[in-house]
Every structure is written in C-alpha cells, then in structure tokens.
Amino acid sequence: MRIRPYAAADRDAVAEICLRTADYGGDATGVLEDDGLWADVWALPYVSRHPDLAFVLEDEGRVIGYVVGTDDTDAFEEWFRVDWWPSRTEGRARPERERTRQEGILLYAYGRRPGAEPYAAAGYPAHLHIDLLPEAQGRGWGRRLIEALVAELRRRGVPGLHLTAATRNAGALAFYDRVGFSRLPSHEGVQAFGMRLG
C-alpha cells in the first residue's frame, strides 16, 4: 500500500469509499433514497475545490482510503453555499423539517455557510474528512493519511485543524484521540476535535 496525492481519476473511488463508510463507519448503501448525497456533501466538494489537499491510499492500483480537506473553512463554506451546492440540488428540494435521515442531511447541506460552526474562528481554520475501507483500518494508514495532510497545511502556515464526528461512531472517536486531536466543546450528537499545527 502507498499514500499518494489525489488525481482526477480517483473521483469515483472517493465517492464509493464515502458511501461505503458513511453509516457511522459502516456501509451506507441504501440507507438513503439518494446514495450519491453522502459524497456530494462530504467528499466530492473537497476534491473539486482542493485537489491539492487530498491524498489517497492505494493498494495495487485500487484506492481504498482518502483524506480530504480545506485550509480555510470559512472560504470553503462560502464556496459550497454559492457555487457547489446549487449545482447539486436537482431532485433535492430543501425539506421543511427533518423527518428522515436524508432530510437531515439535506437541511445541513442547505444550511452550510461561513461561521456556522465556531472552530475556524477559534484558531482551527482548516478541517478534514477521512475514510478508509475496512481492509485498510487498524493498520496505521489513517494516521499516515492525516500526517500527509498536516504536513501540507503546516507548509502553508495554517495554525490549526479541526473535524467533527458523530458521537455514535465510537471507532472514529477513539481514533482521533489516538492520533493527536483534542476534544473541543460540541453540540449534541457530534464530537469536535482540534489540532494545533503551529
């Protein structure tokens, strides 16, 4: 296995990995009516805007994990709101309220904007998403993917990095504790983590 920079040809693999790990770390295929929604919210916008901040884990030519991110959360969220999400809303009307998991994700996507979360303003302007297929987990590759992104963020002088995970995803919470993130004040159902890079 090896870690390398993301390439445009990896796009479909990144979307597939996102889907296969989106249900609190498990396969989310069929959980929503719209399987593509997961990647359109949490993976593809990042490789579209910041391919230079995306790294993949490859095993004999097959991509089995990735880390994606942004070095400026507020700028990213404004781009998501103005450019990315409007291009992905066909057949995805904004629901009036959250009755299903899919409606909750749609409400989140429609509500993304600069300053919606406090972490960027608190000294953690970068954020990431990381996913690995089960065959790549527990072998140190997640840590190495994060190290690849952190090295690039440090090279750019970014002072801090954050992420959030569902509190139901116990494996992810333990992983972020192990790889050097600190827990930050969070709202119900979510645990935020931060890492100082300076």
Is the pLDDT at 187 greater than 90, yes or no? no
Is the pLDDT at 198 greater than 90, yes or no? no
Q: Which amino acid is present at 49?
A: R
Dist CA 86 CA 66 (whole Å): 25
Mean pLDDT over 127-146 rounds to 96
Place of tokens 């359109």: 40
In a domain, 44, yes or no: yes
Q: How confident is the model at residue 135 (pLDDT cuts 50, 70, 90)?
A: very high
Mean pLDDT over 42-62 rounds to 98
Q: What is residue 120's predicted lDDT score, i.e. its pLDDT? A: 92
Q: What is residue 167's predicted lDDT score, i.e. its pLDDT? A: 93
In a domain, 147, yes or no: yes
In a domain, 79, yes or no: yes
The DSSP call for residue 117 is: S
Q: Residue 129's domain spans which residues?
A: 2-159
Query: Helix, strand or coil for residue 77?
Result: helix
Mean pLDDT over 88-102 rounds to 97
Dist CA 195 CA 183 (whole Å): 9
Q: CA 115, 5, 41: angle at the middle one, nearest 5?
A: 35
Q: How confident is the model at residue 19 (pLDDT cuts 50, 70, 90)?
A: very high
In a domain, 170, yes or no: no
Mean pLDDT over 61-85 rounds to 98
Mean pLDDT over 22-37 rounds to 96
- Residue 36 sits in a domain whose CATH number is 3.40.630.30
In a domain, 181, yes or no: no
In a domain, 191, yes or no: no
Place of tokens 């498990």: 26
Q: How confident is the model at residue 17 (pLDDT cuts 50, 70, 90)?
A: very high
Is the pLDDT at 117 greater than 90, yes or no? no
Is the pLDDT at 41 greater than 90, yes or no? yes
In a domain, 168, yes or no: no
Number of domains in the chain: 1
In a domain, 198, yes or no: no
